[in-house]
């Protein structure tokens, strides 16, 4: 008995040590990402969300956008939605997707609690909330009587994607994730019973069997944190690859890689395919479409002809090559062409190294951003291209990136380029975030930026108006800083009702702040360029917040069919707010 007691005590000490180490990791995460103004509980939440979604390589703003907690949250801390592993943040993002029977829609609903044990309360809240929130007969307005606008807004997007997926015969998956700061996952029988009840209820609500609930304690979070994406991988060619250089612009390698070796190259330590290798590819795996069926058939049944005779090859961009014989060690690897072929090999080949068949692989070594962009665009020219990627190679985008870099900030033209370099998330601005900021603050159009952010990049007229090379880039930079400062100050709001009411008006707040600070009803671009951020104080923010809430209340009272979500997307409220600013300073 004494020995058993010692073992239990030692186990508890080990777990406590893991929690102490995790606290240190979270503190470092807070420092690295310059999240000093955010509460510790919110940092724990952001850290947890980053870890549980690591395989999807999300932007920091995707994670922030998913957070819906606060008053009237229905027991939900965040809602994430992925279609074929691609994040969906806004309704107009759906224009980029084609739904069919192979579509996989994944919904992730989380509870992240900086507490020392798993409790039944969060499950009770979900059991009560889920049937109502995802009742397709419930209107947006009726949902807002119970849930905050962030929850409702995300739920409306989920309902839209869920419907599109179901109509086309696709697959729906829903995962609940509950993280807390406990030493280990220890739950009572009652907790397990509530878990089963929640899963059964969700299966009935969504008409799918693919429902699960994952629990993460300090042990699991620390294990995830330790599992980093590898920076250097070795690709083993069948024979020594042909190597050639092109002046000072780069080095190229071309050769054959046995199918079994290539599958090994694609495989992570957990046995799954390494999605991070395909970040620069335009499409995700398209499943059992005709071309992929043919690739798979050539792997499984055609043994008397080499694979590369029948199929296209692979194009890889990488850095820092180290060749030893037929082995080529690489860093910062991106497979920019050949995703469908790669997935088909991973899914259909058994990994047997006796198989002599090969896939042709070309590796381009360059760190020149313009060259990389051109390679990505040209090797994927036959595929549908997202609006952001189409714009990323424009000269003005490269110039903005350089301008921001010289200011100590990072303009993320290519998704997660700077995140993967370990730059602080607080200093990274995506193209879409920048476009929304400029559209809202400089172009007096926060409602369009809120309602249809994707159209800001897709529509030539909108894009050329926002990204005009005749404008001073300092104005672009200041718009981003104003939007970021406004978002950070919003996070610090402690009054739950004020936070609920302003959640959908962050772009409006960024539009309003410089006007109230400078006491002007007509903000010029030159004034944005010369804005002094020393004047953006907590007191000024509070004044702007009170002014905004007052006018939201008055507008809702005067327009009985409106609600907090639809007025944030309407030109009518922007006009109303503009008139109030004019009246204030006239």
pLDDT for 192 equals 94
For the stretch 120-151, what's the b/e string if a residue is b when 16 or more beta carbons lie within 10 angstroms of its beta carbon?
bebbeebbebbeebbeeebebeebbeebbbbb
pLDDT for 233 equals 87
Question: How many whole angstroms separate alpha carbon 192 and alpha carbon 229?
Answer: 33
Supply the pTM of this predicted model.
Answer: 0.73
Say yes or no to pLDDT of 214 above 80.
yes
The full set of domain ranges for the chain reads 2-226, 232-379, 387-585
Q: What is the CA radius of gyration of the chain?
A: 26
Biggest alpha carbon–alpha carbon distance for the chain: 84
**N-term to C-term CA, the chain:** 83
How does residue 5 score in pLDDT terms, banded at 50, 70 and 90? very low
Q: What percent of the chain stands above pLDDT 90?
A: 59
- Do the Cβ atoms of 567 and 505 come closer than 8 Å? no
Express each pLDDT in 515-551 by its tens digit.
999 999 889 999 999 999 999 999 999 999 999 999 9
Question: How many whole angstroms separate alpha carbon 162 and alpha carbon 173?
Answer: 10
How does residue 513 score in pLDDT terms, banded at 50, 70 and 90? very high
pLDDT for 12 equals 43
pLDDT for 505 equals 96
Say yes or no to pLDDT of 337 above 90.
no
pLDDT for 435 equals 95
pLDDT for 573 equals 96
Burial of 326 (0-12, 13-18, 19+ CB in 10 A): middle
Express each pLDDT in 100-139 by its tens digit.
998 999 999 999 999 889 999 999 999 999 999 999 999 9
pLDDT for 50 equals 92
Beta strands in 62-164 (DSSP E): 78-83, 86-87, 104-113
SS3 428: strand
Tokens 């109509």 locate to 167
381 or 581, higher pLDDT: 581
153 or 492, higher pLDDT: 153
SS3 32: helix
pLDDT for 8 equals 40
Angle value at C-alpha 533, between 532 and 534, nearest 5 degrees? 90
Number of neighbours of residue 384 by Cβ within 10 angstroms: 10
pLDDT for 375 equals 75
pLDDT for 283 equals 57
Lowest-confidence region among 102-106, 207-211, 266-270? 266-270
Burial of 484 (0-12, 13-18, 19+ CB in 10 A): middle
């Amino acid at each position: 008995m004494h020995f058993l007691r010692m073992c239990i005590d030692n186990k508890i000490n080990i777990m406590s040590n893991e929690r102490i180490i995790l606290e240190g990791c979270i503190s470092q995460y807070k420092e690295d990402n310059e999240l000093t103004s955010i509460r510790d509980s919110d940092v724990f939440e952001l850290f947890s969300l980053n870890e549980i979604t690591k395989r999807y390589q999300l932007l920091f703003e995707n994670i922030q956008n998913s957070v819906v907690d606060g008053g009237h949250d229905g027991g939900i801390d965040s809602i994430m939605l992925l279609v074929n592993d691609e994040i969906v943040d806004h309704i107009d993002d759906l224009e980029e997707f084609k739904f069919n029977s192979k579509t996989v829609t994944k919904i992730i609903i989380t509870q992240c609690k900086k507490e020392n044990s798993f409790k039944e309360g969060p499950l009770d809240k979900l059991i009560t909330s889920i049937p109502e929130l995802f009742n397709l007969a419930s209107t947006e307005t009726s949902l807002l009587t119970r849930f905050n606008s962030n929850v409702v807004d995300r739920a409306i997007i989920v309902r839209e994607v869920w419907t599109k997926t179901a109509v086309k015969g696709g697959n729906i998956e829903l995962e609940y994730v509950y993280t807390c700061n406990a030493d280990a996952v220890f739950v009572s029988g009652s907790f397990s019973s509530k878990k089963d009840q929640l899963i059964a209820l969700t299966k009935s609500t969504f008409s799918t069997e693919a429902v699960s609930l994952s629990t993460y304690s300090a042990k699991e979070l620390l294990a995830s944190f330790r599992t980093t994406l590898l920076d250097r991988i070795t690709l083993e060619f069948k024979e020594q690859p042909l190597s050639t250089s092109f002046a000072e612009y780069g080095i190229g390698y071309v050769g054959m890689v046995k199918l079994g070796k290539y599958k090994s190259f694609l495989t992570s330590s957990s046995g799954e395919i390494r999605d991070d290798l395909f970040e620069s590819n335009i499409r995700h795996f398209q499943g059992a479409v005709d071309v992929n069926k043919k690739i798979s058939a050539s792997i499984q049944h055609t043994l008397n002809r080499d694979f590369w005779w029948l199929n296209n090859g692979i194009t890889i961009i990488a850095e820092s090559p180290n060749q030893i014989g037929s082995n080529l060690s690489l860093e910062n690897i991106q497979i920019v062409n050949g995703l469908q072929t790669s997935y088909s090999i991973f899914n259909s080949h058994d990994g047997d190294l006796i198989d002599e068949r090969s896939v042709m692989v070309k590796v381009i070594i360059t760190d020149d951003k313009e060259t990389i962009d051109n390679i990505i665009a040209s090797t994927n020219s036959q595929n549908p291209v997202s609006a952001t990627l189409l714009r990323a190679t424009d000269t003005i985008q490269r110039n903005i990136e350089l301008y921001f870099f010289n200011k100590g900030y990072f303009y993320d033209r290519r998704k997660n380029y700077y995140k993967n370099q370990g730059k602080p998330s607080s200093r990274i601005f995506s193209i879409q975030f920048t476009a929304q900021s400029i559209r809202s603050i400089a172009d007096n159009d926060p409602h369009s930026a809120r309602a249809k952010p994707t159209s800001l990049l897709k529509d030539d007229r909108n894009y050329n108006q926002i990204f005009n090379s005749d404008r001073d880039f300092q104005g672009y930079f200041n718009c981003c800083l104003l939007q970021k400062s406004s978002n950070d100050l919003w996070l610090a709001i402690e009054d739950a009702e004020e936070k609920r009411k302003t959640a959908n008006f962050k772009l409006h707040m960024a539009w309003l702040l410089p006007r109230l600070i400078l006491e002007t009803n007509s903000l010029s671009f030159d004034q944005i360029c010369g804005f002094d951020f020393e004047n953006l104080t907590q007191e000024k923010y509070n004044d702007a917040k009170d002014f905004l809430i007052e006018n939201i209340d008055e507008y809702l009272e005067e327009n009985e069919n409106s609600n907090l979500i639809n007025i944030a997307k309407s030109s009518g409220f922007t006009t109303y707010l503009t008139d109030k600013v004019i009246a204030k300073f006239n």
